[in-house]
Amino acid sequence: MQIAHFADTHLGRTIYGLTWTFDEILDHFEEAINTALKEHVDIIVFSGDMFDNWRPPNRVIKRTIEVLSKAADKNIKIYATLGEHDTPKRRDIPIHSLIPQIKLLGTNINTLRDCFVINYTEYCFAGVMNIRLTYGGRAKKKLLEFIGRALSGTSGKKTVLILHQNISNFFALEPGLEINELPRSPIYIAMGHLHRRIVYRRDGQIIAYPGSLDILSMDEIDIYKNEGKGFYIVDISKDEPVIEKVDIPVISMEKISSELKDLEYDVKKILLRLPKNKNSILIVELNLNADEKTKADIMVDRLRKIIPKNVHLRIKPIYKDLHIDYKTSVADVSQLEIDVIAERLGGERYRKLAEKIKMLKELALAEDWEAVYEQLDEIVKEPYWTRIIHFNPINLPDIKVFHGRDVDKKMEETEGMINKSKKRDILSYFRG
């Protein structure tokens, strides 16, 4: 029983607005599926973010159907689950349900798993769609319950669990599941979301991310150089899975760092390494002082005229004298968001409220509505809301007489002013 495990194919993505990257991502996808077919896999799994967008262009849908029908014609089962990119953003059906070859798992109670028998062995493929997690939110509990339900009734069967989530042991800068929270019973956990290859083994179980299929951003250039890009072929016939990586060609993308004085030399040197007969992206991180900007523009213009047409040159200026740290960590970015909200609210003294508002946003994105209402209750307690109007109490003298009556006098003493029976009703109303 051989599985081709794909994740994060992001079909329909365009890099830096270049149409050829859109086409190449689809070409590489087709090549990968063809390779899997040549290896005679029985099952193809897509662990989320198959599409870059929940409403991909029609030609992406058409091409996907054409490619996958070759697999379906060979009776290969194709399973997918949703990632955060291809989950419908409004009340709508997922794009996957328009592609007849795909069995979408883990979007509702009726599609949590598919079980079948081959050669007297019972196999189950269970999946759960991406659920956005927050630090300290309750979305994780919901996700773990969802996983538990997907796996119910699979004990004693060879089970593959398909998820699209971060695992915080592998990437700490985003909320995620922890390895010890993942169930032990599946023989293979087919992960998606992290765009790099990770294989983790414990007691005969393998948990693996195949990574993205192509270089989808500048940050993935180094990852590609270290570990390649492609998919996994996983054999689950034995007691323990056997996993192999299959490499697939990627978009040609290079990144260099240069100084203004070396720019032309460095670019010409790297051009020798770029393919002659296909398109490439060359990113140059150019270190310069802010007052050299015009000089740099002139040099870059000249450079563009001499480099081949199939090389797309992108210059990323890095101003040495402005001391901007481009390696700002994700934690700092989330602080920045709080800074901005606090500033809009009126300054640093509203920081606590800004933190609460940011959390509200995360909970709403995670669709944890119960937690959203709790967070709203927390937010309305903040003194900010009562201080929108500048605190300016009206000074009143003690009122002794109101509408001609002495307010210090007890009600009984004024009862003659009110009709007796009516008075009793009113008083019993207030006392009751």
Closest separation in Å from C-beta 167 to Mn ion: 13
Q: 222, 291, 290, 284: which is closest to 257 by C-alpha?
A: 284
Long-range contacts formed by 17-26: CB under 8 A, 24+ apart: 18/279, 18/281, 18/312, 20/279, 21/251, 21/279, 21/281, 24/214, 24/251, 24/279, 25/213, 25/214, 25/216, 25/251, 26/60, 26/63
Q: Which is nearer to Mn ion, 102 or 315 (CB)?
A: 102
Using CB under 5 A as the criterion, what x/- string covers residues 267-306 for binding Mn ion?
Answer: ----------------------------------------
Q: Which is nearer to Mn ion, 24 or 49 (CB)?
A: 49
Identified binder of Mn ion from the candidate list 193, 197, 229, 356, rule CB under 5 A: 193
Using CB under 5 A as the criterion, what x/- string covers residues 68-87 for binding Mn ion?
Answer: ---------------x----
CA atoms within 13 A on the CB side of 142: 18
Q: Which is nearer to Mn ion, 191 or 338 (CB)?
A: 191
Residue tagged 């329909």 (tokens): 12
Say how far apart CA 224 and CA 28 lie, in whole Å. 15
Q: Which is nearer to Mn ion, 193 or 229 (CB)?
A: 193
Closest separation in Å from C-beta 97 to Mn ion: 19
Say how far apart CA 196 and CA 225 lie, in whole Å. 11
Say how far apart CA 18 and CA 270 lie, in whole Å. 21
Site for Mn ion in 21-50 (CB under 5 A): 49
Say how far apart CA 315 and CA 303 lie, in whole Å. 11
Closest separation in Å from C-beta 164 to Mn ion: 6
Say how far apart CA 341 and CA 91 lie, in whole Å. 29
Closest separation in Å from C-beta 176 to Mn ion: 11
The beta strands (E) that lie in 49-170 are given as: 77-81, 102-104, 113-118, 121-128, 158-164
Q: Output the DSSP codes for 161-175.
A: EEEE--BTTT-TTS-
Closest separation in Å from C-beta 191 to Mn ion: 10
Give the chain's largest Cα–Cα span.
107
Closest separation in Å from C-beta 194 to Mn ion: 8
Q: Which is nearer to Mn ion, 187 or 216 (CB)?
A: 216
Quick one: which segment of 58-66, 191-199, 268-276, 343-351 binds Mn ion (CB under 5 A)? Answer: 191-199
Say how far apart CA 315 and CA 293 lie, in whole Å. 12
Q: 417 pairs with which residues across the strands?
A: none
Closest separation in Å from C-beta 143 to Mn ion: 14
- CB atoms near residue 215 (< 10 Å): 24
Tell me the site size for Mn ion, rule CB under 5 A. Answer: 3
Q: Which is nearer to Mn ion, 216 or 371 (CB)?
A: 216
Q: Output the DSSP codes for 238-274.
A: SSS-EEEEEE----EEEEEEEEGGGHHHHHHHHHTTS
Q: How far is CA 28 from CA 59, 67, 210, 214, 369, in A?
A: 16, 11, 15, 8, 40
Q: Which is nearer to Mn ion, 193 or 356 (CB)?
A: 193
Site for Mn ion in 123-142 (CB under 5 A): none
Q: Which is nearer to Mn ion, 50 or 288 (CB)?
A: 50
Q: Is residue 113 a contact residue for Mn ion (CB under 5 A)?
A: no
Using CB under 5 A as the criterion, what x/- string covers residues 204-223 for binding Mn ion?
Answer: --------------------
Using CB under 5 A as the criterion, what x/- string covers residues 144-183 for binding Mn ion?
Answer: ----------------------------------------
Closest separation in Å from C-beta 81 to Mn ion: 11
H-assigned helices in 5-117: 19-38, 58-73
Q: 112, 133, 136, 116: which is closest to 124 by C-alpha?
A: 116
Closest separation in Å from C-beta 165 to Mn ion: 9
Q: Which is nearer to Mn ion, 176 or 241 (CB)?
A: 176
Quick one: which segment of 153-161, 190-198, 300-308, 335-343 binds Mn ion (CB under 5 A)? Answer: 190-198
Closest separation in Å from C-beta 166 to Mn ion: 8
Q: Which is nearer to Mn ion, 165 or 205 (CB)?
A: 165
Catalog residues that contact Mn ion under the rule CB under 5 A. 49, 83, 193
